[in-house]
Chain A
């Protein structure tokens, strides 16, 4: 079975903390994505990467950064967490153009 694994299912962090959300895929996919999901807003794309060390901003990159040092791993970084970053974060991967996107189970982040 194909798998996208997000390191933490539930996290609680304090305002101002640096937060790392890790994602690993085992399908040798070139493309990886980070979304956040909030009630009524659907999935909003934060960043995506189409190759190692390559990254592109999505629709809402402010307050986030990403790292892709290896093909299978894509990390989302909140440099200084704020309460408005409380959300569910979803990682996904796919092979190029037109192929299926596989999602992780999601990471629920609460910033207090």
Chain B
């Protein structure tokens, strides 16, 4: 199974950019890189995904390394609502594996 590794926790000041890293050295050529986040007492929600090129949407940006062995989720201006657990996952086939995630704290 393709696995990802990331820090257990991170902290950011409100309105500053946040870079959440993820390593996925065993990624295969057909794996997509997805990011989800989970607010307290809720199911995870989709943030962004990509295959090879960097991606932007209204929530975040995803920077993918040229060799695809790592990626970074970028929140351009952290808000208190961005405090959540963030998951970086790969989709090898139909099975989707989540790890413990990165807990992001946002300081007012």
User: Which residue in chain B gives the minimum CB-CB distance to A56?
Assistant: B95
A105–B100 touching, CB < 8 Å:
no
Shortest distance in angstroms between A81's beta carbon and chain B's nearest beta carbon? 22
**Does residue A96 face the partner (Cβ distance < 8 Å to B)?**
yes
A101 and B95 contact, CB distance less than 8 A: no
What residues of A have a CB within 8 angstroms of the CB of B45 in the complex?
Answer: 103
Find out whether the CB atom of B46 lies under 8 angstroms from the CB atom of A102: yes
- Size band of the interface chain B makes with A: 20 to 34
Q: Is the CB of B96 within 8 A of A94?
A: yes
B42 touches A106 (CB 8 A): yes
Q: Per DSSP, are chain A's interface residues mostly helix, strand or loop, or mixed?
A: strand
Instruction: Classify chain A's interface size.
Output: 20 to 34
B residues 13-51 touching A (CB-CB < 8 Å): 30, 32, 34, 36, 41-46, 49, 51
B101 touches A103 (CB 8 A): no
Asked if A48 is at the interface of the complex by the 8 Å CB criterion, the answer is: yes
| Residues A97 and B46 in contact in the complex (CB < 8 Å), given A35-B98, A41-B100, A42-B101 | no
Q: B32 contacts which chain A residues (CB < 8 A)?
A: 97-98
Contact between A105 and B44, CB atoms less than 8 A apart: no
- Closest B residue to A39 using CB positions: B100
Contact of B44 among A50, A59, A97, A103 (CB under 8 A): A103
Chain A positions 30-49 with a Cβ under 8 Å from a chain B Cβ: 31, 33, 35, 40-45, 48
B: which residues have CB within 8 A of A?
Answer: 30, 32, 34, 36, 41-46, 49, 51, 87, 91, 93-101
Could you give 5 example pairs across A and B, Cβ below 8 Å? A35-B98, A42-B99, A45-B95, A45-B96, A103-B45
